Structure 1
């Protein structure tokens, strides 16, 4: 489990059909540990000083941008004593969204992302999303595009500084939204007005 607060921006040094090698701070990482690499929960199969190799399945390469990006956001797993500064992030990426526009405002950047129709139930105004592993808040939705505001500190501490229109960005819906939508879509088991009245 992660929170979407990035600890480090790292470089992919090597890539094969089944793994990525990342140059990163490995002082707190050992073989077998889970690490969020650009928002994707991966297992370290080999750890050396300053470098870690992560196994990546063909399906993960297909769903995410790990086959093409050069720099990645790194987050280590949440510990019991840690503060939850962002929101719960599982590292189970739903797919990618396309960055279609970048706006520079006085004290933040506004990024606009086009998303596929299947993501629509999980994207809510003022709701949380993870983009390349970064916990962000949805500030606007128009048709098939949502927008987020990113403060300078977040830009500085993540790989967003190098993002441009046309880039694919890993997308993970808020897990709570995913479970609610899944429950509502179960025949005969969904959330109804009657159930809500009983619970409340």
Structure 2
């Protein structure tokens, strides 16, 4: 489990096709200027790390990078299939009991892909608008939570299959929002509570 509070931006250092090219092995370089990542203290083989919202398992590591293996299913349902060497990746270590829950409960299981349709300066922040698949739009509510590329965000407004959020400069600097552009695809995870409430309302009680 994660909180959607990004602790550093890593970089795709190497991409290696595996499984006859259907699957992928990624090596992610970690930010050495962040105490939580420099030398990767406490990270062990088998650990879960959220990479731009996708919960991935560490299969190899050294003090400067870690490797993960990604199935064809994950590649087809997330932005990972379009990642390139040199690309920035939002990183978050798994939540430990006793940690501060600064965002919201995030599982690292991507529900679908959204698309950036607008980014507009609004006072001291930037208003971002995302279009989401129709099947996910009903789970996104004004003032509710959503994870975009692993970042926990509060929804400002919802108009059909479009929702908006405001990103302050600090968030842009500490995540890949600083390099995101109109037209880019993003990984979306809906709020877990919204998922279960919707499921309950579908059943005959």
Q: TM-score scaled to structure 2, two decimals?
A: 0.89
SS in 1 for 2:82: coil
Distance 2:91 2:74 in 1: 17
Matches within 5 A, 1:86-165: 86-165=103-182
State whether structure 2 residue 58 is matched by structure 1 residue 44: yes
Distance 1:67 1:2 in 2: 22
Partner of 2:201: 184
State whether structure 2 residue 73 is matched by structure 1 residue 67: no
Distance 1:21 1:66 in 2: 12
The alignment covers a number of residue pairs equal to 188
Distance 1:161 1:10 in 2: 13
2:49 equivalent among 35, 56, 61: 35
Report the RMSD for the aligned CA atoms in angstroms: 1.1
State whether structure 2 residue 197 is matched by structure 1 residue 171: no
User: What is the Cα deviation at residue 182 of structure 1?
Assistant: 1.5
Larger gyration radius, structure 1 or structure 2: 1
State whether structure 2 residue 8 is matched by structure 1 residue 8: yes
User: What is the Cα deviation at residue 94 of structure 1?
Assistant: 0.3
Any runs of at least 4 consecutive aligned residues in structure 1 with deviations exceeding 4 A, and if so which? none
User: What is the Cα deviation at residue 136 of structure 1?
Assistant: 0.2
Distance 1:74 1:105 in 2: 27
Q: TM-score scaled to structure 1, two decimals?
A: 0.91
Which consecutive unaligned segments of at least 5 residues does structure 1 have? 190-200
Paired residues of 2:137 and 2:160 also in contact (CA < 8 A): no
SS in 2 for 1:104: strand
Distance 1:66 1:72 in 2: 10
Distance 1:19 1:184 in 2: 40
